Amino acid sequence: MSKINILGVFAVFLIFIECQFGSQDYFSGKVIKVIDGDTYDMVADDSEDTIRVRMDGIDAPERGMPFSRVSTNYLSDLCLGQYIEVEKTGTDQYGRTLGFTYLKDGRELGREMLKAGLAWHFTKYNSDQELADLEDEAKQAKRGLWRDPNPVPPWEKRALNRQNVAAKDAFDEDGETLEDKYKNNSLNTGDTPYFEIYGGNEPCTLGGCSQIKVTTPDNSDVLVTIKKDNWVVRHAYIRASSSYTFEVPNGTYQPFFYYGKGWNPEREMKETPKGLVKGGFIVYEEFGKDDPQVLKNNILEYVLILQVNGNFSTKESNMEEAL
């Protein structure tokens, strides 16, 4: 079996695109689950499929932010188990339906969340003056999240997250910072935190097999994903100064390297056709990748070294393509 050595040095440029435009449509159904203060699952009257709806015009506190639980519970009280009508305005990059949601009594859910002070007017994608006025009224009355004179809106938290500083300003529902809660948390080398979505690391029992060995830096943990045909077929958590070897049938594979510190098992990372990928680092995130490699009875070895400056022999990547 031949051996290929690759010295990997990696960086990250996170790309996040939010889309909220499309054609209008109307449909009705029943709310079966509330995800947070601006997102819920429903089953349409003419289908048995579950539809995830992201409410247009508002942005509610995300998990880990103050008032996240209150916002989620308030939306649940309004609509869980209720029959609603959705005015569809588009589909976002995650495949969620965007729209305005109306209860049987005519109330629109986004407006109700703004009135209660449990969501922001999402002005980046909506310029409706009525929604702006509702937010302003709640702010003046110091309702909900406006009890804080300077609440941090979710889009700023997402921006901070992409700059690797969000964890210092993010809180769990008991007020403890996520950095304090998870900064020393890590998994064992070889653990597969995304098992429910991507499965485990099966040994290669076919006639033609190859190996991919990854050795991590001494100052970082790494979550490695191995993709074939744009789907993760192997993945493993590897602690700092450790190594792990994947066995794969001969073929073409692309490795991705997700680096960071402090593992938060509840962090929501990415929606996939098989469900939500949960679990991620809270600080110093970086993503790297190599080009697809054709393996035929080979051992492909990566020795990962994180450097602040210098040339990069692996390419930058992002969460969307790595997971």
CA–CA dist 297, 209 (Å, integer): 5
Q: Are 234 and 295 in contact (CB under 8 A)?
A: no
Q: Which of 306, 101, 309 is nearest to 222 (CA)?
A: 306
User: Is residue 253 within 8 Å of residue 292, measured between CB atoms?
Assistant: yes
3-state secondary structure of 61: coil
Backbone torsion region of residue 230, taken as left when φ is above 0, otherwise alpha when ψ lies between -120 and 50, otherwise beta? left
Catalytic residue among 48, 52, 54, 271: 54
- Residue appearing with tokens 């959705």: 86
Residue 236's closest CA among 180, 276, 195, 289?
A: 195
Active site residue 96: yes
CA-nearest of 2, 27, 7 to 297 is 2
Query: 96, 111, 234, 267: which one is catalytic?
Result: 96
Q: What DSSP designation does 108 have? A: B
Catalytic residue among 18, 48, 52, 62: 62
321 is catalytic: no
Instruction: Give the active site residues.
Output: 54, 62, 96
